[in-house]
Chains A and B, each alone.
Chain A
């Protein structure tokens, strides 16, 4: 049972202090199983992005306890967390952040080059494969800054998958995509979860997307409804 849990959040509380003290997350607790495709919904401003930053280990300024793959991550140093993220977490931002001066291929390869566990050729092959999956193989040699918003978002997804992370988190990963591409991304996520046992946590405003996922967590004012 224990080994089947990919992510465990216990009483997560988060405050913002600017412009005044304000509780965004009000003691959230939940578990996500390995191979589960979870979506987070809720109206704008309910705290979804804030929660995802905490879950992704990037934000360490919170109360409560966070556990991923059976490892407690609360209280670790920034550099330890960076190494952990590199290996175990793939992240797609709400605003598709790529490195503009690098090619699409380089952007996708970078997390794998950083972890340095495979040869360059293997990494490049894998990056091509991911781009193909998202219909971007023709753009591989272009500079990332020359792509359209939707294309950039798909590159970000391809990048998030490169290290075969245990958990893939996406903050509205299909926010800029047309219905055909949204469906494609949905299929990819479901396949990763069900065939390969990778855990997906995606924030979405797309009701169809949410309804078709394994489980939906609906948030309102920093609480799970």
Chain B
């Protein structure tokens, strides 16, 4: 349905996106992952015809979006990373305005507005002014506005930041439902790995303006098939211990987490004993140890050397 060909964007000598090729089939749900500044939003803006690529093209059903932005605009819904709403208007007034610029009117518009408000769970508070909403509620209206006109392709750029877990689950389930039952094609950018795991069939991982890995969730995880993750909870941080472990033979990566440490080690390596020894040496108190198969988060870490969220 959609593909990009060597998309590139240079902002005043700074390359934000550098030769991105990705595709989406109709009805697919695709995730786009990458750390801050990777170029995700820029890629999305080029796909949705909001900014002009420095080079490369976007093709929708084989036609160039660059030549005729109209073709993608007609089928597209975008949830921007920013809150793109009139702050002084109520949720209802916003949706009414955005619905009408898409040519909806009358009863149909009214029904649609109530439907999307239901999805984002703001039906009761629709007559309140957006400025007075909490950040999470504003995000929800921001999403609702992109779904009014029943787009074939929904692009969401970190749509759930700041939304409480319950509403988030509800929204994700709805998007998943639209994707599976109605054949809505979804491109989803998020920092929440579990969202992408839940929602997306296929994932692109992006860093420094380039796609560094892609495939189904299982394909990506198999990149780390030879590894496992050891989570160690400690009573407090031990910086020296980290340094020691980092130089320890056989441990591929040592990352500090909130609770303690995360180690990536070759599968089947019997390292636990020596890790305990090192910990002993530093008089570190180990509260809990957990050995896991890799997650997408780990894949991401492996590929970029960075955590998704700081």
Are A and B physically bound partners?
no
Residues of A participating in the B interface, judged by any CB pair closer than 8 Å: none
Residues of B participating in the A interface, judged by any CB pair closer than 8 Å: none
